[in-house]
Amino acid sequence: MNQPFQTREALNTKPVEQARPALSLLIAAPRGFCAGVDRAIEIVERAIDRFGPPVYVRHEIVHNKYVVDALKAKGAVFVEELDEVPANVPVVFSAHGVPKSIPAEAERRELFYLDATCPLVSKVHRQAERQIEKGHHIIFVGHAGHPEVIGTMGQVDPDRITLVETVADVAALPFERDDALAFLTQTTLSVDDTAEIVAALTARYPAIAGPKAEDICYATSNRQAAVKEIAPQCELVLVIGAPNSSNSQRLVEVAERLGTPARLIQRGTDIDPAWLDQVQTLGLTAGASAPEQLVREVVSRLAEWRTITEQVVTTTEEHMIFKLPRQLTE
């Protein structure tokens, strides 16, 4: 049976691809790694180079699976407690800080250790010690169970420090108005929430002593400020970070408080294209322990569905650098 006649034009016709809808992408700056995270990762990498693998790390060095997996591939072994660390290998303490009992235990066991605690967290540790020396009971503002909170509260006698998480917790404190009190805060809290809690503390305890400068670190404050700049212009904000990353969770909350839906993702593969329905302008940022590679991965993933126009929105410049431990520089 003869085939129907087809013109050359018909034979050469290809399906026309539908143009991908446009997406304006506002990328917050600053975003991603802070100086404390850079330092902690470099400590592990230099320890592996200098002493050879394996190098043990107590707790995740920073809260990011991509970073942890990359360090594992280089020879890092992550453990939760020192009794998992064999003799004659280096062990690194995470950027979040540890209670005083941990280095004391390492010394008892004659372990060689490197402390990757962020210097801004170490500053809070020193402040806690000074307030105890002055005879104050410390009210510590933070999230129960977070490694930084465990580390800071572990710097002093547990009977001399009390954790509060909310304004309601302040109202329930058992202290008298004129008791000798001081407050300190976790470094990765919501700037706005913390201001409310500190206001409640100072209203109830007018003589309470506080730090000379706020304990919330520059990177946390800067990343929250950057989200405040972009969120009102967006229908959705994506925050790259781990579920156990305090500073990343706070970025989600900042956007939502401004009325913009936000989602926490770890990788580009976490994105559901349905999220982009009705979204013409999308905000993107990354928590302080998320590397820039993941930002680019997310942009590439978005480009599979939409035609992307990128705009970096910069609210401040960061130039902070922290010194490495002398054991790695001598």
Give the model confidence (pLDDT) of 162-201 as tens digits: 999 999 999 999 999 999 999 999 999 999 999 999 999 9
Cis peptide before 211 (omega within 30 of 0): no
Contact status, residue 161 vs residue 181, Cβ threshold 8 Å = no
Residue 10 has pLDDT above 80, yes or no: no
Percent of the chain with pLDDT strictly greater than 70: 95
CATH top-level class for 22-33+218-314? alpha beta
- C-alpha span between 199 and 196 (Å, rounded): 5
Give the model confidence (pLDDT) of 234-247 as tens digits: 999 999 999 999 99
Which residues carry out catalysis?
Answer: 148
Read off the pLDDT of each residue in 262-268 and give the average, rounded to a whole number: 98
List of residues 6+ apart from 114 with CB closer than 8 A: 43, 47, 90, 91, 92, 93, 325, 327, 328
Stated pTM of the model: 0.91
Residue 13 has pLDDT above 80, yes or no: no
Query: What pLDDT does 123 receive?
Result: 97
Given pLDDT bands bounded at 50, 70 and 90, which one contains residue 260?
very high
Given pLDDT bands bounded at 50, 70 and 90, which one contains residue 213?
confident
CATH top-level class for 120-204? alpha beta
Domain boundaries, the chain: 22-33+218-314, 35-118, 120-204
Read off the pLDDT of each residue in 109-133 and give the average, rounded to a whole number: 97
Residue 155 has pLDDT above 60, yes or no: yes
Check for a shared fold between 22-33+218-314 and 120-204. Answer: yes
Read off the pLDDT of each residue in 68-85 and give the average, rounded to a whole number: 97
Residue 110 has pLDDT above 80, yes or no: yes
Nearest to 253 by CA among 262, 241, 245: 262
Contact status, residue 137 vs residue 182, Cβ threshold 8 Å = yes
Query: What pLDDT does 262 receive?
Result: 98
Higher pLDDT, 191 or 7: 191
Query: What pLDDT does 18 receive?
Result: 65
Name the CATH code of domain 35-118 (choices 3.40.50.150, 3.40.50.300, 3.20.20.140, 3.40.50.11270): 3.40.50.11270
Strands (DSSP E) contained in 165-210 are 181-185
* Helix pair angle (218-230, 246-257), 10° resolution: 30
Query: What pLDDT does 330 receive?
Result: 82
Give the model confidence (pLDDT) of 297-312 as tens digits: 999 999 999 999 999 9
